[in-house]
Every structure is written in structure tokens, then in C-alpha cells.
Amino acid sequence: MPGSALDLLSGDAQTFVTKVWASRVHLHRTDPERLVALLSLDDVDTLLTSSAIRTPSVRVAQDGAVLPESSYTRGATLAGKPLTGLVDSRKALALFEGGATIVLQGLHRYWLPITRLVAELELELGHPCQANAYLTPPGAQGFAVHSDSHDVFVFQTAGSKQWEVHCPDGADEVLLEPGVSMYLPTGTPHAARAQDTVSLHVTLGINQLTWRGLVERSVADALAGVTDEHLPAGYLDDPRGLADELAERLESLAADIRGVDAGAAVTAEVRRFLTTRSPRLSGGLHDVLAVPALDDDTLLRRRPGHPCVLIPRDERIEVLLGDRAVDVPAWLGPALEDLRARRELAPRDLADHLDPQSRLVLCRRLVREGLLEVAT
């Protein structure tokens, strides 16, 4: 996908970060084929009718109410063990034909094009992201006016949908069609109705990390140092004594907080984020099979949406890869910095830093860890 995920959804990424985040509604137009390729009607048909998709990956809503799972699921057995929550395609399609909206939840966990888009968006924004898709029959509306507890991007991949977006100065009507994406900040009331044809749209939720959360995590050790002993008996009759003791503890806590290393706290925050993303290893089977034959001329590619952040630690370097961290000797630093700057490379491209055996060992490990994939 050419360009960044943020460019695809909102235009110039820097403009979005500096201006759009503080606005109410932002529309962006792009090549419809680029958005449709992320999730088409045929893709949804496959998921609903030709896969073993289960709840809670699917829910169904109609006229503002979420329908019970029993109305569109069935049970089965696999190797003699029960399976529950399997979507019954006949029931689901019958509900859809009757005006219900089918919601594909957590789409980033099982649909590769959306997985890649969300992975790239998370790295650009530094916030966890998620994706749902909404399949709505002609003229129907799945949910009444509501607001979300997170920012969202919305883009249409089939049909059209009329959005009612409530802003501080009134309500706007926005028609979304393939090629148009919309950004809605947290708490923006909205509702949407399909027009004359079936509608399919995707919402990308941005689960913002906040200053409060960062501060709380940064001072957690200081707070943990406050004693958990009981308040002294008799403080109801003599609250001044309790106030004096509280003042002493607050002053001690303040001193501990003043001693917090902000740089170290931010490094810890980066590490926390870049070691807790979901594993994203599409093509990993082929990579594992190709590792034994990997040689100095094998073309390798940085896997999309995977970070490579280096944190020096004494004589070692911690490499943050998104879902994990790996520990390597510090002398690999120059080679890793060179690798970080490239989208594609062969092991021989690291000849300025490593001997043939060392660069093969490094590249094979990074293929196994998922940072690199074998280009085909």
C-alpha cells in the first residue's frame, strides 16, 4: 500500500496530527480501489458463509437493538468436543434480508488487509487501534444516535451511507461512498443509514493513551512506597494529628515524584507499547521454511507494521519488535541501525558491519522473530 496508513485515511499525516485531532469532522477523498481492496462485499460473504467465524467476532443489530446470539448462531462438534457460537450463515443472511446490520468485530485480528492497516496506523499514532465492519441492507439503520469512547476513522467500501453527525453548532449530514473516509473525535454523537443499495463500511477505533495514564504509570513505584498500614485510632477526635502525619507522607511522596526520571519513564512507556501488540506474522510459515536456505544474496523485506526500536542497556541492546523484545550484543548496533533504515536488503548489504557468518545469523534470527520476511 503506497504511502502511510494515516495518509490513506486523512491526507497529509502532519496536518492530521497538528490540526485535525482538535476538530470535529474531517473528510478525506482517496482512490476508491485502495479502500475497497481492504474489505469487499465478496470478502464479507466469504467470512460469513465459508469460514468458521464465531461470536464475539460477529454480532447483529436491528433498529437500535443488539439481537441475541441464539438468533444467528449454532453449535457443532470438532474432534468430539463442542463448539459454540458458530455463525449460522442461513440465519444471519435471513436476518440481514429482514433489515438487520451484521457487525464484524475485531476485524484486525483475522482479516489480513485490515491487520496490516491497523498495525501501520498504531505505529504512526502511538495508540492502540481496532477495527469493526458494518454490513447494512438497503435503507436500514443498525444503531440509533450514539457516541463512542474513542476516536474513529470511518471509510466506505460498498454502497453509500448517510451519516448524521452532531457537532457543537448543530448536526451535519455526511454521505459516505467508496473513496471517502471520515474522522470523528471521541464523544461525537452520530448515526448512519444505508441508502438505496447495500452498505459496507469499516470503522477504525483509536483507543487513546492519555497523559493521566502515563503519569500514573510513571509514579506507580513512588505510590507503591506509601505504607498500607491502618490509620491511627482516635483520629476522629483529633484530626489535626492525622493531618500532620498526612502532610509528612505527602511531602515524602512529592520528593519521590520529583526524583522520577522522565526520560526513563518514557522509555518504559515505549517499551510497554512496543512489546504488547498482537503477533502479526502473515507468511511466517514460508519464512520459517526458507530460513535454512537463506544466503548472502537472499532478498529480505521489513515486515509492514513491525517496529524496530533499539534500546541500549549496558553491553546489550534490547530490540523492540511490537509483540516482544529480543536481547542482542551491543556490537550489533551499527548493523541494526543500517537495517532499520532500509525497507529491503540482502545480508551482504550489512558487510560494512558484520562478517558473512555473523550477518547470516542475525538475518536468520530476525526472520524467525518476524521483523524480516523473505521477499518472493
Do 84 and 229 belong to one domain? Answer: no
Within-domain flag for 150:
yes
Number of domains observed in the structure of the chain? 3
Q: What is the pLDDT of residues 288-317, one digit of tens each?
A: 999 999 999 999 999 988 999 999 999 999
Q: Give the residue from 162, 178, 206 where a domain finishes.
A: 206
Total residues found in the chain within this entry: 376
Within-domain flag for 138:
yes
The residues, any chain, with a CB within 8 Å of residue 239's CB and separated by 6 or more, are none
Within-domain flag for 275:
no
In whole angstroms, what is the distance from residue 364 CA to residue 216 CA? 39
pLDDT at position 22 is 47
Residues in a beta bridge with 61: 66, 101
The residues, any chain, with a CB within 8 Å of residue 76's CB and separated by 6 or more, are 82, 83, 86
Within-domain flag for 299:
yes
Q: To the nearest whole number, what is the mean pLDDT of the chain?
A: 93
Q: Which residue has the higher pLDDT, 85 or 8?
A: 85
Q: Which structural domain range is residue 314 located in?
A: 284-374
Do 33 and 95 belong to one domain? Answer: yes
Within-domain flag for 13:
yes
Tell me the CATH number at 367.
3.40.366.30
**Residue ranges with strand state E in the chain:** 26-29, 58-62, 65-66, 73-78, 81-87, 101-104, 129-136, 151-158, 161-167, 170-176, 180-184, 190-194, 199-206, 300-302, 309-313, 316-320, 325-329, 344-345, 372-374
pLDDT at position 172 is 83
pLDDT at position 105 is 98
pTM over 0.85: yes
Do 139 and 101 belong to one domain? Answer: yes
pLDDT at position 24 is 62
% of the chain with per-residue pLDDT over 90: 84
Do 20 and 98 belong to one domain? Answer: yes
Tell me the CATH number at 51.
2.60.120.650
Do 244 and 342 belong to one domain? Answer: no
Taking residue 177's Cβ as centre, other Cβ atoms within 10 Å add up to 17
- Would the pLDDT of 9 be above 90? no
Q: What is the mean pLDDT of residues 342-359?
A: 97
Q: What is the mean pLDDT of residues 216-235?
A: 94
Within-domain flag for 146:
yes
Do 200 and 303 belong to one domain? Answer: no
The helix (run of H) or strand (run of E) holding residue 249 is helix 239-258
pLDDT at position 300 is 98
Within-domain flag for 132:
yes
- Would the pLDDT of 10 be above 90? no
CA-based torsion, 242, 245, 247, 253: positive or negative: negative
Q: What is the mean pLDDT of residues 357-368?
A: 97
Confidence of residue 12 (pLDDT cuts 50, 70, 90): low
Do 161 and 253 belong to one domain? Answer: no
Q: How would you classify the pairing of strands 300-302 and 101-104?
A: unpaired
In whole angstroms, what is the distance from residue 134 CA to residue 346 CA? 42
Do 185 and 254 belong to one domain? Answer: no
Lowest-pLDDT choice from 22-26, 205-209, 226-230: 22-26
Do 248 and 310 belong to one domain? Answer: no
% of the chain with per-residue pLDDT over 70: 96
Q: Residue 173: what residue type?
A: E
